[in-house]
């Protein structure tokens, strides 16, 4: 166990600044380009539903399961009081989870703890797999988890570092776009049961307030992630 822990927390050398910058550009392109976003959005949904599930457990709600759908939507089923702090925090967690996970990943990559980041993600996916209640959800988690496991076992350290940076930037940027899409749907009246509207029914604040709150947290996470990762890069003239 001591050797395993030492391997997990071993710090890798920081990447060059151009690696961090190109990783950010690659992730931004994936999120901004509609076809690539449609293919990759399911990864953000995994983080979204995982956030709901984690906070539901922490707030002592009974977690019944998670469903991930082929249209990149998802739902987390819980039982408990239909009102109160537990329900409010559970509803809040979804849109905040990708950005906050990206920020935590930025801190780990800035510290060079890429191996710890990879295995933490793998553990997160395994826990979600135990809670999945539909076949497509199980399939997408197995494929994602298999890719992460192969990366950890067979990819050299430099490749792991690059992929980790792209994944972290993807979560940071990918945490913003669903919020913008949410507001667009709300304006057209196509999302009456969104997290923001559920929160509006649970509290005295309007749904637009929560959309703005989600957006502020997502934007702050992007800024915080950049502040962590860019100064940590190997820049000879600094």
DSSP state of 188: T
10 Å Cβ neighbour count for 144?
18
SS (H, E, C) 110-172: HCCCHHHHHHHHHHHHHHHHHHECCHHHHHHHHHHHHHHHHHHHHCCHHHHHHHHHHHHHHHH
Q: How much is the pTM? A: 0.93
Of 190, 182, 196, give the one whose Cα is nearest residue 93: 196
pLDDT at 7: 65
pLDDT at 236: 61
Interatomic CA distance for residues 137 and 142, integer angstroms: 9
Interatomic CA distance for residues 87 and 180, integer angstroms: 23
For residue 115, the number of C-alpha atoms closer than 13 Å in the C-beta half-sphere is 15
Of 238, 201, 198, give the one whose Cα is nearest residue 14: 238
Per-residue pLDDT of the chain (238 residues; tens, 9 = 90+): 777 677 677 778 888 888 999 999 999 999 999 999 999 999 999 999 999 999 999 998 998 999 999 999 999 999 888 888 999 999 999 999 999 999 999 999 999 899 899 999 999 999 999 999 999 999 999 999 999 999 988 989 889 999 999 999 999 999 999 999 999 998 888 888 899 999 999 998 999 999 999 999 999 999 999 999 998 776 665 5
Query: Which residue bears the tokens 């076949």?
Result: 135
pLDDT at 47: 96
């Amino acid at each position: 166990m001591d050797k395993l822990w030492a391997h997990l927390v071993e710090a890798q050398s920081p990447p060059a600044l151009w690696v961090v910058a190109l990783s950010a550009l690659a992730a931004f392109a994936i999120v901004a380009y509609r076809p690539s976003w449609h293919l990759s959005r399911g990864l953000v949904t995994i983080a979204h539903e995982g956030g709901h599930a984690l906070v539901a457990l922490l707030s002592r709600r009974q977690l019944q399961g998670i469903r991930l759908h082929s249209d990149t939507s998802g739902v987390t089923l819980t039982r408990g009081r239909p009102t109160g702090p537990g329900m409010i925090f559970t509803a809040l967690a979804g849109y905040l989870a990708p950005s906050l996970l990206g920020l935590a990943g930025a801190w780990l990559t800035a510290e060079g703890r890429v191996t710890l980041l990879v295995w933490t993600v793998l553990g997160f996916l395994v826990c979600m797999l135990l809670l999945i209640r539909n076949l497509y959800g199980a399939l997408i988690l197995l494929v994602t988890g298999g890719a992460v496991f192969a990366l950890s076992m067979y990819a050299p350290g430099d490749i792991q570092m690059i992929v980790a940076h792209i994944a972290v930037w993807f979560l940071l940027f990918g945490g913003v776009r669903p919020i913008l899409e949410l507001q667009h749907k709300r304006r057209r009246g196509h999302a009456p049961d969104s997290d923001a509207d559920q929160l509006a029914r649970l509290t005295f604040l309007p749904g637009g307030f929560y959309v703005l709150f989600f957006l502020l947290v997502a934007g702050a996470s992007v800024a915080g992630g950049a502040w962590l990762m860019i100064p940590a890069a190997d820049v000879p003239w600094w």
